[in-house]
Chain A
Amino acid sequence: DVKVTQSSRYLVKRTGEKVFLECVQDMDHENMFWYRQDPGLGLRLIYFSYDVKMKEKGDIPEGYSVSREKKERFSLILESASTNQTSMYLCASTEGGRVETQYFGPGTRLLVL
């Protein structure tokens, strides 16, 4: 069974703080993704990575950065948190070339005050 874990289920941060969200997958998947989910907007892709140390911008990368130093771990960084980054953050992974089977983590609910 594929397992994708995220470091926190709930986070409360203050405006201007640097925020780290961690994601780990245990299936040796090449591709990893970070999404945010907001009511009425669905899932929007922030960044993705198809290999260690590789990253690609998604649809809404502004205000975010990522790091992938190891194959199993993909981190999302909010350099200076703002209230409009309050959201549900979801990490996903998939095998290379297997677009149809993305596996998601449980999500992190981030509240920025």
Chain B
Amino acid sequence: QKEVEQDPGPLSVPEGAIVSLNCTYSNSAFQYFMWYRQYSRKGPELLMYTYSSGNKEDGRFTAQVDKSSKYISLFIRDSQPSDSATYLCAMSGPEYGNKLVFGAGTILRVKS
């Protein structure tokens, strides 16, 4: 079993829709939760990170962590065609040092 599971998609939505992207994990020691966005043929860029549980909002993006369920989500409001990309979740914790454990990524397509 992978430590971090993420549905690869593709997820196709119309412009303006609310998008929900999710990851589940197995190691309860994870404390840092990150979301990266990767455009085609580019390197990943950090979108948001949260420490431990709770929500974090940044513009149209909201990251949510539910440690009791070992489940994290990224919500995108008013999705735009420019949001079309692969979204990667990543996690870490004390036993991992500075290393991250990545999900496989979800391909998102926002159609105009």
Contacts and interface: CB of A to CB of B under 8 A. Distances in A.
B5 to A, nearest CB: 10
A48 B43 contact: no
B26 to A, nearest CB: 15
A50 B97 CA distance: 10
Contact of B104 (A31, A42, A98, A106): A42
Interface residues of A, number: 28
Interface in B64-112: 88, 90, 92, 96-100, 102-105
- Size category of the B interface is 20 to 34
B42 interface: yes
B32 interface: yes
> Shortest 3 CB-CB distances between A and B: which pairs?
A104-B43, A42-B104, A100-B49
Interface of B: 6, 8, 32, 34, 36, 41-46, 49, 51, 88, 90, 92, 96-100, 102-105
Interface of A: 4, 31, 33, 40-45, 48, 50, 58, 90, 92, 94, 96-107, 109
